[in-house]
Amino acid sequence: MTGQTSSPGDQYAHLRANAAAQKRATVDRLSQAITQLEAEGRPVNTFTIKEVSGMDYMAYYRNREAFQLFQEHSTHLRKEREQAQAKQQATGRSKSRKPRKGQAASHVVKVSPRDPLLDYKRPRLIELLHEARAECDEVKRQVKTERTKVEQRAQAERLELEQRYHKLLQEHMSCGVTIAKLEAQVAEYLAFMERFRSSLRREEHEPDQ
């Protein structure tokens, strides 16, 4: 047997590892783009990110970690958080002069941001949809190709086992024939020896002429 067939649980382990590496690379590219924009004092949005990195919005929108990084550093979303925080603090001061427990200034207040997809026009959305479908079809094609390779390897190994089995069976049958011939020769030899002994006994008991 040339090798052991992979179990169903880890057939696509290398595909998952490749996908994880691509996600990590997306996060790293986005982080570098954001760092560059902030260092240059430029706003952080989908257009400036694409300008400095070439990354389309959908590239990090489908990546949870990358999209969270974008939300934390987006100039527009940051302003919305600051406005929401200022409004919340103003409301708190109007109700009471005493600060509430746990009411501390925070730069990353969690609010529900406006989906950036709403800023796209219909032709761009259709283009993004086609890109997503193309990526989905490509993943399906890779999975199908990998499954075909696994099935082909399993079939080749099965044929090899069958050939080895038939070879061993032929050798076993050949050994059986050889053993049968040897047993016949041994039986013939024993019969000859028995006749020879009988002849000797008769000669010993016959009187001399």
Q: Could you give the 3-state DSSP secondary structure of residue 20?
A: helix
- Dihedrals phi, psi of 128, to nearest 5 degrees: -65, -40
- Residue 11's Cβ-count burial label (10 Å; 0-12, 13-18, 19+) is middle
Q: What is the predicted pLDDT for the residue at 32?
A: 92
Residue 3 pLDDT: 44
Residues 6+ apart with CB under 8 A from 43: 37, 75, 76
Domain ranges in the chain are: 15-95+105-116, 120-204
Q: What is the pLDDT of residue 5?
A: 47
Q: How far apart are CA 78 and CA 108, in angstroms?
A: 8
Rg of the chain on CA atoms, in Å: 42
Q: What SS3 class is residue 7?
A: coil
One pLDDT digit (tens) per residue for the chain, 209 residues: 444 444 545 666 777 788 888 889 989 988 999 999 999 998 889 889 988 888 888 888 888 888 888 888 888 888 888 888 888 888 777 665 555 555 544 444 454 555 666 666 777 778 778 888 888 888 888 888 888 988 998 999 999 999 999 889 988 888 988 999 899 999 989 999 888 888 888 887 765 55
Q: What is the pLDDT of residue 112?
A: 57
Q: 115 near 107, Cβ under 8 Å?
A: no
Q: Reduced to 3 states, what is the DSSP secondary structure of residue 10?
A: helix
Token pair listed for 202: 């008769």
Q: What pLDDT is attached to residue 11?
A: 64
Report the 3 state secondary structure along 149-205.
Answer: HHHHHHHHHHHHHHHHHHHHHHHHHHHHHHHHHHHHHHHHHHHHHHHHHHHHHHHHH
